[in-house]
Structure 1
Amino acid sequence: MGQRKGEEEQSLLKRAKAALDEMTAEEDAAITAAARTDPDAQPNLAAKRGRPRLEQPKVAVLLRLD
């Protein structure tokens, strides 16, 4: 079953690349414009993964003891 899934993914990837190669600049611009006007398709740029930044970040200090 794992190999069949891999073959299916390869087939889908090949079809997607072929469709991308056939796309004209006008079609690409039309699709991009439609995606940008769709409020449900906007990327969520505010949400970032990981730990939130500190309001007062720590400052690196060099301490030399003689």
Structure 2
Amino acid sequence: MSESDREYMNTQQAAKYLGFSTQFLEIGRHKGYGPAYLKYPQAVKYRRCDLDEWAAKHLRQHTSEVA
């Protein structure tokens, strides 16, 4: 397991890392379009590697590319 796999962030930290609002991540969890996350009884955590993977899936070269 790489070091980035072990780095966990809360919603606020993950939102700052990605440049989004915490609300975007909260709605993304609810609707299923956000990055992968870990759900504990009292907390939600994101791994840096999952945030990077999710962001990379949205990389485009041209505006006509289909998601």
Q: What TM-score comes out, normalization by structure 1 length?
A: 0.27
- Which protein has the bigger strand share? 2
Q: Which has the higher contact order (CA 8 A, sep 6+)?
A: 2
- Structure with greater Cα Rg: 1
Q: What TM-score comes out, normalization by structure 2 length?
A: 0.27
- Which protein has the bigger helix share? 1
